[in-house]
Amino acid sequence: MDPLEALVVAFWAMLPAYVPNNAAVLAGGGPPIDGGRTLGGKRLLGDGKTWRGTVVGIAAGALLAVVLNRLRPVLDPAVPAPLPEPFPATTLVALPAGAMLGDILASFVKRRLGRDRGAALPGLDQLDFVVVALALSALVAPDWFGATFEPAVLVVVLVITPILHVTTNAIAYALSLKSEPW
Ligand code: CTP
Ligand code: MG
């Protein structure tokens, strides 16, 4: 698979896992998931993980995957590389829910490390959601996962995700949508 092809497949297949974080930033607010509970004197997750942000994030990612499935027959002949197979029904949920779960797990880890809400943890912040989104979709749709995420595509995902994450967060910060630039 040539690099351009791997880039197209990686971006297309991961879009439903990329969008939930951004949707959560826009939708966030209201009751936190942990209900204010603490563990060892620190919040379980913190005020940055809310029900509303999580539900809207998952819905946005699932909706986008449905739209991409609809667009696929139209766009496939137009793009310079074959698009991946349509998203199976299980991955419509697994990709965005995995992304949100990865982000939530990272907050759990950050609180245990004594880092307050909003503190950066380079590496974990950029890849948490991708790892869990990939793992969950591999679990629910192993055939689609195997056909889509060839080794070259996985490498591209691990390279472009941190770049996209840092860029979109910097934009969200510049637009005052987010309180920290990471
Ligand atoms: N958000 C949300 N629910 C989620 C994820 C994010 O409501 N499951 C919203 C919150 O308003 C959050 C913002 O998106 O403040 C930015 O997300 P993120 O950077 O993940 O949270 P932080 O506030 O930085 O908190 P943490 O340190 O726990 O990552
Ligand atoms: Mg953060």
Q: Is the CB of 50 under 6 A from ligand 1?
A: yes
Within-domain flag for 166: yes
Note the pLDDT of residue 80: 85
pLDDT by residue (tens digit) across 120-133?
Answer: 999 999 999 999 99
Whether 181 is in a domain gets the answer no
- For ligand 1, whether the C-beta of 100 sits within 6 Å is yes
What is the span of the domain harbouring residue 95?
3-174
Spatial separation of the C-alpha atoms in residues 87 and 81, rounded to whole Å: 17
Q: How far apart are CA 17 and CA 11, in angstroms?
A: 10
20 lines ligand 1 (CB under 6 A): no
CA dihedral 104, 105, 107, 113 (to 10 degrees): 170
Give domain status of residue 24, yes or no: yes
Which whole-number Å values give the CA distances from 157 to 37, 54, 74, in the listed order?
35, 23, 24
Tell me if residue 43 falls in helix, strand or coil. Answer: strand
Q: Which of 21, 26, 34, 49 to mutate to test the pocket of ligand 1 (most atoms within 8 A of CB)?
A: 49
Task: Quickly list H helices, the chain.
Answer: 3-27, 51-75, 89-112, 124-140, 142-148, 151-174
Extract the residue ranges of the chain whose pLDDT is less than 50: none
pTM above 0.75, yes or no: yes
Q: For position 27, what pLDDT does the model report?
A: 97
State the burial class of residue 117 (Cβ atoms within 10 Å of its Cβ: 0-12, 13-18, 19+). middle
Expressed in angstroms and rounded, the spacing between residue 154 Cα and the centre of ligand 2 is 24
148 part of a folded domain:
yes
- Provide the pLDDT for residue 1: 85
Number of domains in the chain: 1
For 33-42, the pLDDT digits (tens) are 999 999 999 9
Q: What are the structure tokens assigned to 160, written together?
A: 């472009």
